[in-house]
Structure 1
Amino acid sequence: MIQFSSVDYTGVLVINEPALFLQRLAQGYGKSRAFGCGMMMIKPGDDA
């Protein structure tokens, strides 16, 4: 049986270590990366 779940978050992200953030952003998060999960869509805020 295949189970699939995902979640959407909305908020403000403060980045203290830009190099580490970019590395993790490229690698993805979690164990379901191969299924298209674990990736983050990041966009500039209204005041950027």
Structure 2
Amino acid sequence: MKFLDKALDELENFSSDQETGHHERALTFVLVGFVSLIVLTALI
């Protein structure tokens, strides 16, 4: 979970540097996919 918190912080810092909402939406999509992958791996 510590790694996930670090990843979230990195994404927040990066998205705050970007002014475009489109880029932020792309980051959110990547984050959701990343979390889904972790959950699926944990379930298997």
* TM-score exceeds 0.5: no
Q: TM-score, normalised by structure 2?
A: 0.34
The structure with the greater share of residues assigned to helix is 2
Q: TM-score, normalised by structure 1?
A: 0.32
